[in-house]
Amino acid sequence: MGRRIGRRAFLAGLGALSGAWAAGCRRRAAISRAPLPPGASPAPTPPPAVEPPPVPNAAQAQRYQGVQLTYYGDSVGIGAELDQQLGARFTQDTGIAVRVIPRPQSASEAYATYLRFFQARSAAIDVLLIDIIWPGAFAPHLLDLRPFCAGEIDQFYPALIANNTVADRLVALPWFADVGLLYYRVDLLERYGFAAPPATWEELEVQARRIVAGERAANPVFTGYVFQGNAYEGLTCNALEWLASVGGGRILERGRVTIANPAAAAILDQARGWVGLIAPRGVTTYQEDDARNVFQAGNAAFMRNWPYAYALAAGPASRVAGRFGVAPLPAAPGQPRVGTAGGQQLAVCQYSRAPEAAVELVRYLTSAPVQVYRALRGSFLPTRPAVAADPRVLAAEPFLGPLQAVERVTRPARDAGARYNQVSTAFFQGVNQVLNGADAVQLLPRVARRIERALA
Amino acid sequence: MSEVVVPRPRVPTAGAPRAGAPSLAARQARLAWLLLSPSLTVVLLVAIFPLVQTVVLSLTTARLASPEPARFVGLSNYAALLGDYLFWQSIGVTLQFAVITVSGEFVLGLFIALLVNAQFRGRGLVRAAMLVPWAIPTVIAAQMWKWMYHDVYGVVNDLLVATLGVLPANVAWLADPTTALAVVALVDIWKTTPFVALLLLAGLQVIPEELYEAARVDGASALQQLVQITLPLLRPAILVALVFRTLDALRVFDVFYVMFGERPDTMTMAIYNQETIVAFADVGYGAAISMVIFLIIGICVVAYVTLLRVEAP
């Protein structure tokens, strides 16, 4: 038996340890706030206290008081926090308890989770957040919302409603739209003498190389361009933008696999050249938040990401607040400026034990006041034209106007149906191999054959 | 005096069977089966029934949550598996990983066990502290190491490049295919060496001290003692440790999944299996993959037990 430590000595030791730990935690550098350079997108100015709006359909919803709903909601960025607050407000106004569970971060993981629940015909989920590419695959397991929301359907963008309608059943209501954007550092462009953000991929390389060469001396980990290069669905979005912006096709067109073409091979080989030169070598392991963390800490000149990153990069915890802007992604000369269409829809599970209460929650979350609230607080793009024209939303999302020029390109989920996951996996694994050093000209035909086998 | 003949009472001789009744051995056998039946039922339900179901599923085209019913297709899933380049690549990755980690853990574990077997002050504390990596859940440890190996804001790069100056520039440990397997093997060795050390320590403590005393009297060096006394007597413990670790290494999933996801060049057999069944919802093909993995692991275990057979002295 060792020597017993006296009580005083023990407490003194504990106090010393706590003090050391607290001192270590307080090492946050002060955020420098330079004056706004000309051309920078202004930071969104949220009204002083933005509260979740009252529930417009509270009267109908109160009929289901006391019901407990489970909502599988957002887990990326600020969405999770907003989900919690909206759920609490809904409970406060209607008496329906809402349990908010953040679904898995990676889209592939969330898909697998839902599939497991559907296979078991589980009543564990009532309301779920589904990606824009999933209505086709999940339609048999989702409730038809048409009888419940007949009056509101034409208040959404028709293209999104059409995307969510499978065999004349509206299986999900569009909640927010997403499109891939180029974030750029306005102060660095100005410092190195560039008048505007890059319009072509070659211009991006030139600008990034010059900025990196200049900044590396002061910041050895500074990098040029960060994007989502990990082997997951996000890479399908990035790579589709590369392909569509140079005339390389859109993976599946009218049932035929079109990726094995010279333009696609050329842009993928060009992207492979970025890795290690203007993009960090580890970019092939980055997802959305990895790229955002690098850009937000001031360690990157350009970033490709979804609009959710705007509010976070302009917020108080960011080192680039007031020093960045947004623009459409570059494209080859003569080709359209594109962005992959993303966004999430809200659906009600077919096997839910309280479908009417779940529909009321969906109607609240997709209502116009809530979409304004989410646009102001989280820079989520609205799915109602009326909300997109609201002056408060336009002030909060200054890029909303210019982005009307971006052509939304969609992933081939409709063509692939329930096999979309296999198609996408074959595609993103191939692109990831190219980014890691493989030759696109040789790899693309093999990827095309894999996709064809998956669809057979 | 006349003798009184008292009839001797009939005492039943022990062991003499009544006609038609079961023998003691048979009765004991029946009792044994009765007492074993609960655990046999559990094993049947939990292990045998899923195994049979997997075999049956591997002969069909079953898909998860699909409206069309499964069709029986015989061995065509296995035929497709033979030509599946990705599957063979994943087997290669898993075998490479197993060889590296099992040998690394064995050598390090033996070294640590020998060290901790000696008498020194604070030995109890060291033995407890050495188990900490093993106690941390694998997923959490893998995520922690993933952040540490990050190429822009990771601690490992900061230490090697900025503080110690050993490397000229940040290295993307996880992204670079040449370092990726080494990195994940290091994480696994860090995590499970304590487990191997513990198993070997238990084996070391059974070896009688007199053998070493006799060897020292005979003038044997430390190396000779290690090779001729310790290792042979440690054989049962070594077998247990190797079988455990090899099985775990062949089935590895969580470390690779957290650090790499579904990257094709670092995909293990278990990740490929999970991707097929869960992401692609292709249960029939996934069941065939499961059966082949089961066969591979079975072969490895049989090989081990045969090669390292512990003979009675």
Q: Where are the domains of chain A?
A: 58-178+342-408, 181-340+409-455
Say which range, A376-385, B2-11, B84-93, B210-219, has the weakest mean pLDDT: B2-11
Q: How far apart are CA A81 and CA B132, in angstroms?
A: 34
Instruction: Count the helices and strands in chain B (H runs, E runs).
Output: 16, 0
pLDDT (tens digit per residue) in B55-65: 999 999 988 87
Choices 3.40.190.10, 2.40.128.20, 3.40.50.10320, 3.40.50.300: CATH for A58-178+342-408 = 3.40.190.10
Q: How far apart are CA B154 and CA B290, in angstroms?
A: 36
Q: What is the mean pLDDT of chain B?
A: 89
Does any CB of chain B come closer than 8 Å to the CB of residue A112? yes
A444 three-class SS: helix
Question: Cβ contacts (< 8 Å) between B281 and chain A: which residues?
Answer: 115, 418, 421
A124 three-class SS: coil
Which chain A residue shows the shortest CA-CA distance from B173? A282
Question: Residue B264: which of A140, A141, A231 has the nearest Cβ?
Answer: A231
Rounded-to-10 torsion of CA A280, A283, A287, A288: 40
Q: What global pTM score does this model have?
A: 0.79
**Bridge-partner residues for A127, per DSSP?**
A71, A348
Pair A142, A311: CB distance under 8 Å: no
Cβ–Cβ below 8 Å for B264 and A293 = no
The pLDDT score that the predictor gives to residue A35 is: 43
Question: Cβ contacts (< 8 Å) between A115 and chain B: which residues?
Answer: 64-65, 278, 281
Does any CB of chain B come closer than 8 Å to the CB of residue A337? no
Say which range, A17-26, A440-449, B145-154, B190-199, has the weakest mean pLDDT: A17-26
- Residue B102 predicted with pLDDT over 60: yes
The pLDDT score that the predictor gives to residue A42 is: 56
The pLDDT score that the predictor gives to residue A248 is: 92
Q: Whole-angstrom distance between the N-terminal and C-terminal Cα of chain B?
A: 69
Per-residue confidence at B180, pLDDT binned at 50, 70, 90? very high
Question: Residue B261: which of A111, A232, A433 has the nearest Cβ?
Answer: A232
Q: What is the DSSP letter of A320?
A: S
Mean pLDDT of B205-217: 90
Share of chain B above pLDDT 70, in %: 92
Q: What's the token pair of residue A77?
A: 């960025």
The pLDDT score that the predictor gives to residue A72 is: 93
Residue extents of the structural domains in chain B: 76-307
Q: Give exposure, A46-77, as e/b (b: 16+ Cβ within 10 Å).
A: beeeeebbebebbeebeebeebebbbbbbbbb
DSSP H helices in A95-198: 107-119, 135-138, 158-163, 186-191
A325 three-class SS: strand
Q: How far apart are CA A372 and CA A377, in angstroms?
A: 9
Nearest CA to CA, how far is B68 from chain A (Å)?
A: 12
Pair A339, A241: CB distance under 8 Å: yes
Q: Whole-angstrom distance between the N-terminal and C-terminal Cα of chain A?
A: 71
Cβ–Cβ below 8 Å for A437 and B177 = yes
Mean pLDDT of B119-128: 87
The pLDDT score that the predictor gives to residue A21 is: 59
Q: Residue type for B243, please?
A: V
Question: Cβ contacts (< 8 Å) between A432 and chain B: which residues?
Answer: 263-264
pLDDT (tens digit per residue) in A389-407: 888 998 888 778 767 778 8
- Which of B149, B146, B172 is closest to B159 using CA atoms? B149
Q: Tell me the mean pLDDT per 10 residues along chain A, length 456.
A: 60 66 44 42 57 88 89 84 92 92 82 87 93 88 92 87 86 91 94 94 96 93 95 93 94 89 96 94 91 94 91 90 93 92 92 93 94 88 88 84 78 83 93 93 94 88
Nearest CA to CA, how far is A125 from chain B (Å)?
A: 16
Pair B279, B262: CB distance under 8 Å: yes
The pLDDT score that the predictor gives to residue B299 is: 93
Q: What's the token pair of residue A347?
A: 């659906």
The pLDDT score that the predictor gives to residue A307 is: 85
Does any CB of chain B come closer than 8 Å to the CB of residue A236? no
- Which of A434, A444, A420, A380 is closest to A272 using CA atoms? A434
Q: Show which of residues 403-432 on chain A sit within 8 Å of chain B, judged by CB atoms.
A: 418, 421-422, 425, 429, 432
Does any CB of chain B come closer than 8 Å to the CB of residue A130? no
Q: How far apart are CA A238 and CA B102, in angstroms?
A: 39
The pLDDT score that the predictor gives to residue B8 is: 66
Q: Residue type for A251, please?
A: I
Per-residue confidence at B50, pLDDT binned at 50, 70, 90? very high
Does any CB of chain B come closer than 8 Å to the CB of residue A389? no
Write down the CATH superfamily of domain B76-307.
Answer: MetI-like (1.10.3720.10)
Write down the CATH superfamily of domain A181-340+409-455.
Answer: Periplasmic binding protein-like II (3.40.190.10)
**Higher-scoring residue by pLDDT: B119, B109:** B109
Question: Cβ contacts (< 8 Å) between A436 and chain B: which residues?
Answer: 175, 177, 265
Neighbouring C-alpha atoms within 13 Å toward the C-beta of B75: 3
